[in-house]
A and B are shown apart, each in its own frame.
Chain A
Amino acid sequence: MGLVFGLTTLMVLLAVVSLVFHDPWSEFASLAENQEFRFALLFSLGTTAVATIIAILTGIPVAYCLARFEFPGKALIATVLEIPIMLPPLVSGVALLIFFGEVLGSALAKTGLALVFTYRGVIAAQWFVAAPFGIKAFRQAFEAVDPRMEKMARTLGYSPAAVFFKVTLRLTGESLLGGITMVWARTLGEFGAVAMLAGITRLKTETLPAAIFLNISLGDIDFAVAAAAVMLVIAFFLLLALKIFTRKEVGF
């Protein structure tokens, strides 16, 4: 038991640290000047921010309905909403490509909102893959709130909307932030679905993971490793934030 524990921990640690063995630091200085890196970083931050905001705006109402109301077919709907969690992102990407391409493609193109091979596609793919994680986390957060706390607020004089914003959100604040952090981490790392729906076009739909993939395939290992190290740092801070919000493993 102890041996497995030790080996597993060591394996994960070494795999992560091996990025650093490659010495990404020498590339760091030039990264800031690198146009491709700057594009990928800003593009990633921009698209993931929008995708996360959309995931919040769609996920919170859906999760609240699932947590608070009983309706026919609820279990089925909840399962459908979780499908993207189990699906390989590539498959999600193919499904999105067909949906936004073959099914809705011409209609979207007419309105000037085509998604396929555009930055909008990047956002849609990131949202599709990450939103179910948000719904799951938000739902758990709402379910942990005693509904009587909300009822009490109604008797004090708050309307249902005021109860939601002034009581429920405040009661769930940290758990929701935990969920949001997780959603953002998922959007940031999303590659497969993005590649399928939006393609990997240099300086057009090039997110950080796409930049890493693109440069590895072109043989620019140093650049790829430096970009990967940046993602590692971001992941570390996101994980730390998640732990703080959920207060599960950090002694606050």
Chain B
Amino acid sequence: MNDELLQVSQLNVRAESFRLRDISFSVEADEYLTVVGPTGCGKTVLLESLAGLRRASSGSVVFCGKEIGRLPPEARHMGYSCQDALLYPFASVEENIWLAARARGVARDPSVRKRMAELMERMGIGHLLRRRPAFLSGGERQRVSLARAILTRPRLVLLDEPLSALDPRTRREIRELLRDLHLSEGMGFIHVTHDFSEALALGDSMAVMKAGRIEQKGSSMDVFHRPASLFAARFLGGENILSGTVRRSNGQAWFAVREGPFLGPLTVDVPAGAGFVLIRAGHLRLERVGGPIDADNSWVAVVSSFVIGGTHVDVLCTGGCRWQASVPLSDWPGLRLVAGDSVTLSVRPENIHVIPGGGWKDRRERGGYCSLAHTRIAGLAQSGSNGFKGGKRD
């Protein structure tokens, strides 16, 4: 594994009353890893530990083939940028960025001067050089902070919620800039955020953190569509998470949704027993009921309400249980749906993701879960739907 940039194994960090436990993951040379999790799950502590700002109580951190667990931050040479940019108020924008070169003793190097000029151009901050940080907008601060972090070409850049304090438009701009930098600079990035959509938009890979542990790490798409735990499914905005039972028949696994359809065969083998199914709203196909339904993985439901968004319409249905389907805005007028209409919902077997387990803890968590949209329209939802049809019941 020559192109491995960072290898963290069994890292344990104690931070006041909080602990990071047994953190293990790796980052490749030009990987963009996003770490997502709710506030207080230890994302910032993890970044600070990697940067050397916190001492680990055990475990190893290998960076560029070298164990750096005991090295101070200044010897690690990683770029660091965070939500509030942390620019020095006593220095101009130019001096702030230049501090990175001074600190590493390369301020006289002509190639660094050239790099500085190029970066200013690229980051769109050339006109701000003489300004003090107090006179910059949030987006400008973030650009300056990023420029400072990457001026001396670190192999790895650590970003702590860099987009969280920005308005939506600036957030999009900085997101584009980050993507650009990642493609052109050939650096590895670790970007922590509590916003999974930001993580999905930027990261090649994603790690989900919960209470000081990494719950899952994989390619962003894989984690998004196939979360390994109920927590991850919920945190990643899973629209349809329903409890039920995995059953096996003829060597294949099927999932019986409680008071809902029978789904399968599952494309990933899962042992029999209680569990949850996740179906992304975008994977749920919605059609007007036309004639009898006898296909696998399709069932009838009743539209209870819908929310029209910029690109999609979220349709909320009841059919045994509650479902949320996402219809492209372009298809919506053709459907001519109103609340109370019957529709057919269907899903392809490869888009049925089952999360095994259903212990008391999971059940309790599930009790609190019913996607927000569903809760909101609970009062409108019609009961006594047609229920499922065409599924297979044992």
Do A and B actually bind?
yes
CB distance from A142 to the nearest CB of B (A): 15
Contact B99 A156 (CB under 8 A): yes
Residues on B close to A: CB < 8 A? 48, 51-53, 72-74, 76-80, 82, 86, 88-90, 99-100, 103-104, 148, 152, 158
With a cutoff of 8 Å between Cβ atoms, the chain A residues found around residue B88 in the complex are: 149, 167, 170-171
Task: Compute how far the CA of A167 lies from the CA of B78 in the bound complex, rounded to whole angstroms.
Answer: 19
With a cutoff of 8 Å between Cβ atoms, the chain A residues found around residue B51 in the complex are: 151, 154-155
With a cutoff of 8 Å between Cβ atoms, the chain A residues found around residue B52 in the complex are: 154-155
Known: A151-B73, A152-B80. A157 touches B90 (CB 8 A): no
Contact A170 B90 (CB under 8 A): yes
With a cutoff of 8 Å between Cβ atoms, the chain A residues found around residue B48 in the complex are: 151
Question: Which A-chain residue is minimally distant from B80 (CB atoms)?
Answer: A155
Q: Between A and B, how many residue pairs show CB distances below 8 Å?
A: 57
Known: A157-B74, A157-B77, A159-B74. A152 touches B86 (CB 8 A): yes
Residue picked from A152, A158, A166, most chain B C-beta under 10 Å? A152
Contact A154 B86 (CB under 8 A): no
Residues 138-168 of A contacting B (Cβ, < 8 Å): 146, 148-149, 151-160, 162, 166-167
Contact B90 A158 (CB under 8 A): no
Q: Does A173 contact B (CB under 8 A)?
A: yes
| A to B CB contacts below 8 Å, 19 in the list | A148-B82, A149-B88, A154-B53, A154-B74, A155-B53, A156-B74, A156-B99, A156-B103, A156-B104, A157-B74, A157-B103, A157-B104, A159-B74, A162-B103, A166-B99, A167-B88, A171-B88, A171-B89, A171-B90
CB distance from A197 to the nearest CB of B (A): 40
Contact A156 B148 (CB under 8 A): yes
Q: Which single member of A149, A154, A171 contacts B73 (CB below 8 Å)?
A: A154
With a cutoff of 8 Å between Cβ atoms, the chain B residues found around residue A173 in the complex are: 90
Residue picked from B53, B76, B158, most chain A C-beta under 10 Å? B53
Q: What 6 A-B pairs are tightest by C-beta distance, nearest first?
A: A157-B103, A155-B80, A154-B73, A157-B104, A156-B103, A152-B86
Residues on A close to B: CB < 8 A? 146, 148-149, 151-160, 162, 166-167, 170-171, 173
Residue picked from A149, A152, A156, A162, most chain B C-beta under 10 Å? A156
Known: A149-B86, A149-B88, A171-B89. A155 touches B78 (CB 8 A): yes
With a cutoff of 8 Å between Cβ atoms, the chain A residues found around residue B89 in the complex are: 171
Question: Which A-chain residue is minimally distant from B99 (CB atoms)?
Answer: A156
Q: Which single member of A146, A153, A160, A170 contacts B103 (CB below 8 Å)?
A: A153
Known: A158-B74, A159-B74. A153 touches B90 (CB 8 A): no
Task: Compute how far the CA of A173 lies from the CA of B91 in the bound complex, rounded to whole angstroms.
Answer: 13
CB distance from A137 to the nearest CB of B (A): 19
Task: Compute how far the CA of A70 lies from the CA of B277 in the bound complex, rounded to whole angstroms.
Answer: 49
| A155-B52, A156-B100, A156-B103 given; 15 more Cβ-contact pairs under 8 Å | A152-B86, A154-B51, A154-B53, A154-B74, A155-B74, A155-B78, A155-B80, A156-B74, A156-B99, A157-B74, A157-B104, A158-B74, A160-B72, A167-B88, A171-B90
With a cutoff of 8 Å between Cβ atoms, the chain B residues found around residue A160 in the complex are: 72
With a cutoff of 8 Å between Cβ atoms, the chain B residues found around residue A156 in the complex are: 74, 80, 99-100, 103-104, 148
Q: Which single member of B53, B82, B86, B100 contacts A157 (CB below 8 Å)?
A: B100
Contact B53 A151 (CB under 8 A): yes
Task: Compute how far the CA of A171 lies from the CA of B90 in the bound complex, rounded to whole angstroms.
Answer: 7
Task: Compute how far the CA of A152 lies from the CA of B48 in the bound complex, rounded to whole angstroms.
Answer: 10
Residue picked from B52, B78, B89, B99, most chain A C-beta under 10 Å? B99
CB distance from B46 to the nearest CB of A (A): 15
With a cutoff of 8 Å between Cβ atoms, the chain A residues found around residue B73 in the complex are: 151, 154-155
CB distance from B222 to the nearest CB of A (A): 31
Task: Compute how far the CA of A151 lies from the CA of B148 in the bound complex, rounded to whole angstroms.
Answer: 14
Question: Which B-chain residue is minimally distant from A167 (CB atoms)?
Answer: B88
CB distance from A225 to the nearest CB of B (A): 44
Task: Compute how far the CA of A49 lies from the CA of B100 in the bound complex, rounded to whole angstroms.
Answer: 37
Task: Compute how far the CA of A84 lies from the CA of B51 in the bound complex, rounded to whole angstroms.
Answer: 42
Question: Which A-chain residue is minimally distant from B152 (CB atoms)?
Answer: A157
Task: Compute how far the CA of A154 lies from the CA of B100 in the bound complex, rounded to whole angstroms.
Answer: 10
Task: Compute how far the CA of A162 lies from the CA of B53 in the bound complex, rounded to whole angstroms.
Answer: 16
Question: Which B-chain residue is minimally distant from A173 (CB atoms)?
Answer: B90
Task: Compute how far the CA of A157 lies from the CA of B77 in the bound complex, rounded to whole angstroms.
Answer: 7
Question: Which B-chain residue is minimally distant from A157 (CB atoms)?
Answer: B103
With a cutoff of 8 Å between Cβ atoms, the chain A residues found around residue B82 in the complex are: 148, 152
With a cutoff of 8 Å between Cβ atoms, the chain A residues found around residue B78 in the complex are: 155
CB distance from B52 to the nearest CB of A (A): 7
Task: Compute how far the CA of A44 lies from the CA of B316 in the bound complex, rounded to whole angstroms.
Answer: 84
Residue picked from A151, A157, A162, most chain B C-beta under 10 Å? A157
